[in-house]
Amino acid sequence: MEIKKINPENVAPPIAQYHHVTVIPRNAELIVLSGQIGNEQDGFLPMDIETQFSNALENIKSILKSEGLDTSSIFKINIWLTEKMDREFYTEKWNAFHNQSPPATTLAYVSSLARPEIKVEVEAWAAR
């Protein structure tokens, strides 16, 4: 199965690492992940946003692995942050996560998430 990631020529190019359009092949099975927070496997939630972001991405990788998938199967991802993080750190982690093939992406800053100590939530949609 090939997921097509496209940036049409009739709109401005993306302003960051993502594709404007992702096309899922007919008959693909969709895998929808709940928003992942930055807790560790034992449930511990670090206090800093950078560690929470790294952990949330790793949690997504682990869930996909449990389904026999990897990050290349992600066609849409939503990232919500409650505070700014170091841009260089974010870019490094994000680029490593999507292996230079980013899915359709939404990044938003929100005032709060489910609990005050949660600073990151990442939701992913994948297909196989």
> What is the rounded average pLDDT of the residues 75-83?
97
Q: What is the pLDDT confidence band of residue 49, given thresholds at 50, 70 and 90?
A: very high
Q: Which residues contact 70 (CB under 8 A, 6 or more apart)?
A: 61, 64
- Indicate the angle between helix axes 49-66 and 87-98, nearest 10 degrees: 10
> What is the rounded average pLDDT of the residues 62-72?
96
pLDDT at residue number 17: 82
Query: What is the value of pTM for the model shown?
Result: 0.90
pLDDT at residue number 9: 95
- The residue type at 13: P
pLDDT at residue number 100: 84
Q: Is pLDDT above 80 for 1?
A: no
pLDDT (tens digit per residue) in 84-110:
999 999 999 999 999 888 899 999 999
Tell me, rounded to whole angstroms, the distance of Cα 40 from its chain centroid: 17
Domains and CATH numbers, the chain: 4-127 (3.30.1330.40)
